[in-house]
Amino acid sequence: MFLSRSVFVNIRNNNTIKNDLAAFVLSFDTGIAPAVGYSRTISATNVASASISNDWSLLEAQASFGTNIDLIVKGTIDGRVHGLLYQPGSNNYRTDSTNLTALTRSQLVAKINAGDKLTIMGVPTGAGVRMGIDRNEDGLLDGDVPPPTLQVARVGNSAVLNWPYSAAGYALETSTILDATSWSNSTDPLEILSSQNFVTNSLSSGGRFFRLRFQP
């Protein structure tokens, strides 16, 4: 599309030249291993397949080189959202909480068979800690960060809800009844002021419940 712009008078209508030029540019080595960005989502329905096993082994091997990729895992452990980082030296996966021990691949497979779902992904070397277990690299692992607090206050004829802007991954959900299946993402306008998220609701709209829920 870029090469079809009017400024490229001599080639804009020649698809062969445009495709050749694109292929030439893409042939340059970026220095990033092809396994970066490659991912597989694993559940009980496919964990025993040869393709999953082979790809998992391939990504572990790529991470073992130390220069190609870091290997991270995202998903649920015992039904709760967690991240993990592959440790080639010990051949296990470091979790994102000091309350959880490292897990072997066999243990992860067992948890998947018990109902958990995990996505394995190759990421750039050196980015594994940030992308896998400590998103802001402050030394406090993601699983150890206290959940954000949702606050509500009455302002005139409105109820104003607020929670920290830093609560990455958390979404405001609402329901008219306290039922596990009735929650949905709030569509109310969101304002960001002084590092806080704010949502204002009219008190005349009837009773509603709100909660923050992490949505990976």
Using H for helix, E for strand and C for coil, what is the string for 57-71?
Answer: HHHHHHHHCCCCCEE
Long-range contacts of 102-109 (CB under 8 A, 24+ apart): 103/77, 105/56, 105/60, 108/73, 108/84, 109/47
Comparing CA positions, the residue from 161, 157, 155, 162 lying closest to residue 204 is 157
Mean pLDDT by 10 residues, the chain (216 residues): 91 94 89 94 97 98 95 95 95 96 98 98 97 93 92 91 89 89 90 93 82 83
Predicted TM-score (pTM) of the model is: 0.72
pLDDT value at residue 216: 64
Which pair of structure tokens corresponds to residue 20? Answer: 């050749």
Dihedral sign, CA of 91, 112, 138, 68?
positive
Q: Which residue has the tokens 């130390």?
A: 66
Pairing mode of beta strands 209-214, 80-87: unpaired
CA–CA dist 80, 96 (Å, integer): 12
Contacts of 6 (CB under 8 A, 6+ apart): 12
Contacts of 44 (CB under 8 A, 6+ apart): 112, 113, 114, 115
Dihedral sign, CA of 32, 124, 93, 110?
negative
CA-based max dimension of the chain: 66
Comparing CA positions, the residue from 130, 126, 127, 123 lying closest to residue 35 is 123
Pairing mode of beta strands 70-77, 80-87: antiparallel
pLDDT value at residue 134: 95
Contacts of 101 (CB under 8 A, 6+ apart): 95
